[in-house]
Amino acid sequence: MELKDKVAIVSGGSGELGGAICMRLAMNGARIALSYRDDEKEAQEVVEAIEALSGTALAEAVDILNYEEVSEFVLKVVGKWGRLDILVNAVGAKDQATLFDMTSQQFEHVMDVNLKGYFNYIRAAAPVFREQRGGKVVNVSSLVSGEGEGVLNDIVAKAGINGLTMAAARELGPYDVNVNAVAPGLVDTRALKEIPAKQVDRALARSVLGRLAKPEEVADVVYFLCSPRARHITGEIIRVDGGQHLN
C-alpha cells in the first residue's frame, strides 16, 4: 500500500466526494482525520466504513473559517499520530443566485467557505510540512474556475483556489511539498438536485464521454496526486471532466 503509515487530513470528508477521497486514501494505507461542519452522522459513517476495512480514522467538527480552530485540529492530529503527510481540501458551499439577485452575504459566504477555509488549512499545515521537509496538498477546485459558466460566487471562489494552489506550490516547493488541485466538472452526487436541470443537461451534452464523473473517479486522481508517483508534479490544476472542456 503506497500510503502505509501516512497521515491525511481531509476537510469536508463527510460529503460524498470528500468521503470517497477518504476511502480511497484509507484503502491505500493512510490514517484519516476528516473534518466536517455539521454532518456528524455522515462523518461517522465514513469513519465506520474505513474501520470496517481495518483502517484508522477519526472525525471532528471544525469551523474552517476560524484559523485557531483549524490550527488546533491540525496540531491535534500531529500530536495523536506523530506527523501529517497529506492535506486534501474538499469542503464546499453553494448559494445559487444570478448576478442581479445575489446578495453580499451570498457572495461572501461562498468565498469564505470555498477559499478562506482552504487558505486556513494550508496555512495551519505549512509549518508542519516545512519541519518535516515534505507533504502533499490537493485542493478540490472546479471546471467552472476557468470558464465563467455557472454561478458567479462559485466561479470566483474556485478561480481563487487555483491561484492559491499555484502560489502555495511556489512557497512550499523548497520544502519538498507538492501542491496541486483537481478541477472536476459536475459530479454525480446528491448535490445535483440543487443545480438547475439546464446546467446538468449542458454538462452531459459537453462531455465527450457522455456522462458525469462518479465521486470515486475524482478520488482516484486525488489519490494519485497524494502518492509517491506524483512527487514531481506541483502547481497543476488537473481537469477531471470527461472532456467537457473540449466543447
Higher-pLDDT residue of 182 and 212 is: 182
- The residue ranges of every structural domain in the chain are 7-246
* pLDDT at res. 148: 62
Helix (H), strand (E) at residue 50:
helix 40-52
For the segment 238-243, the average pLDDT, to the nearest whole number, is: 91
Q: What angle do CA 138, 78, 74 make, to 5 degrees?
A: 55
The percentage of the chain sitting over the pLDDT mark of 70, rounded to a whole number, equals: 96
The yes-or-no verdict on residue 14 having pLDDT over 90 is: yes
Instruction: State the DSSP H helix or E strand holding residue 157, giving kind and residue range, or none if neither.
Output: helix 152-172
pLDDT at 145 over 80: no
What does the block give as the cell for 193? 438536485
The radius of gyration computed from the CA coordinates of the chain, to the nearest angstrom, equals 17
Cell of 203: 454538462
Mean of the per-residue pLDDT values of the chain = 91
Q: Class of the 7-246 domain?
A: alpha beta
Q: What is the mean pLDDT of residues 11-25?
A: 96
Mean pLDDT of 84-111: 82
Query: Which position has the higher pLDDT, 91 or 196?
Result: 91
Check residue 61 and give its pLDDT: 97
Cα–Cα distance for residue pair 206/217, rounded to 1 Å: 18
Query: Is residue 121 pLDDT above 90, yes or no?
Result: yes
Higher pLDDT, 238 or 101: 238
Higher pLDDT, 79 or 206: 79
Closest residue by Cα to residue 67 from 124, 11, 108: 124
pLDDT band for position 147 (cuts 50, 70, 90)? low
pLDDT digits (tens, 9 = 90+) for 29-44: 999 999 999 889 999 9
Beta carbons within 8 Å of 131's beta carbon, 6+ residues apart: none
Query: Is the per-residue pLDDT at 123 higher than 70?
Result: yes
Q: How confident is the model at residue 74 (pLDDT cuts 50, 70, 90)?
A: very high
Mean pLDDT of 63-83: 97
pLDDT given for residue 162 in this prediction? 96
Residues whose CB is less than 8 angstroms from the CB of residue 163 and which lie 6 or more positions away in sequence, other chains included: none
What's the rounded mean pLDDT across residues 60-81? 97
pLDDT at 106 over 90: no
246 neighbors 208 (Cβ within 8 angstroms): yes
